[in-house]
Structure 1
């Protein structure tokens, strides 16, 4: 979950209990720990905002169907659990504080401009990582989780990039004013992907070298992965805010979200059973 300006003022617990929609209750949880809500949809563009900081993610099957059966992002675990009538809540918490994540005012740029900047860095990241694998070629001998993860990571970058590239051709969507939160989100995204997948590449080549693979291609790959990862860390430190959030606050929000979801299900089922019992009694009452 992420922040909103009003979340710093906790909603009274009796008001939360009266709220019938789980999204309203969930949005209030972050406020108890003073965390801002993330007012932007960017990781899975097809997500539907329910309330500030709470979105409904499409299932993996839904995004895969729209992608013609190709690998697609989505709430895969939610789709699996839904067969049993479950309510699934995934609580994503930030590791650092940035008030811009909650900003709903215009940032002074268009959505197309911030998307293009972010997209360029993401595609540049993918080119560097794919180049590492291509250069090493048959020199890589191990079937490691790092290698499989990096290949999946390249698809993780490439498929959303294709969707965002198509968005840029939509004058209406690309030309609208972007919010401060959206600009913040798209600025952060490339650095998240660089550090995540660059670190995976470094571990991939490190595992090969650790297993005794001293082929020249592997040694060059290890050196290049080290150079890229170190440089990307420096750029991330310069671009991202540095105030880390105490992990106890993050855990409190995650636990609170789980309990809030459980409370909603309890109230929903209790109301359903009460209405069913009333209907049954009414049906037996003589006219």
Structure 2
């Protein structure tokens, strides 16, 4: 009599982008949208022997501390962001957003079909916490440290602050933290690094991914580098790229994505 074999779960990574949608991000709105869409396009491309990828996008601001824009869809099925899908406004409830995200991910991995899925969380913000009401820094630090011990990888990319101090205060690893310039080139570089980092992880074995997970950015970017900053003596970068007309449509136009 043949003994049934346990079903082998697919090798999958779940990448979640937790994106600041506060008012100060408005000057970066175009570059954030194009950067995220470029990230999607690169992840849809075939990577030899790569782990499967599910993508989530969560946004946060003072009016809505946790908005689920994309909920764990296979990368190939995610629709590009349009202009109306990202509307910066309000303040920065960063702690509440992280706390809600961790609760959401805990619920996801409680499902046996996702229990072995590897979690990469990319936090992108251009300012410090200033509006949370449900979680404090100590609570978030405990949550992040426990999830890191369980195998989660947290990436912190910040502008207008000492990102290393901010991340370490919340229990995140220095090797997964970098600063970016609060500019169009800075925002574009952020998504280039997010995409490259995730692509590298997808191409590694599970053992290699676990070994590397706390040094994902350290392997790619010198610690002192300000992402998107112009080299000394060079004229400021002139922005030449614009969104496709579809993305620049008036905000009243119809979008296939639910309005925040």
The TM tier, using the shorter chain, reads under 0.3
Bigger radius of gyration: 1
More strand by share: 2
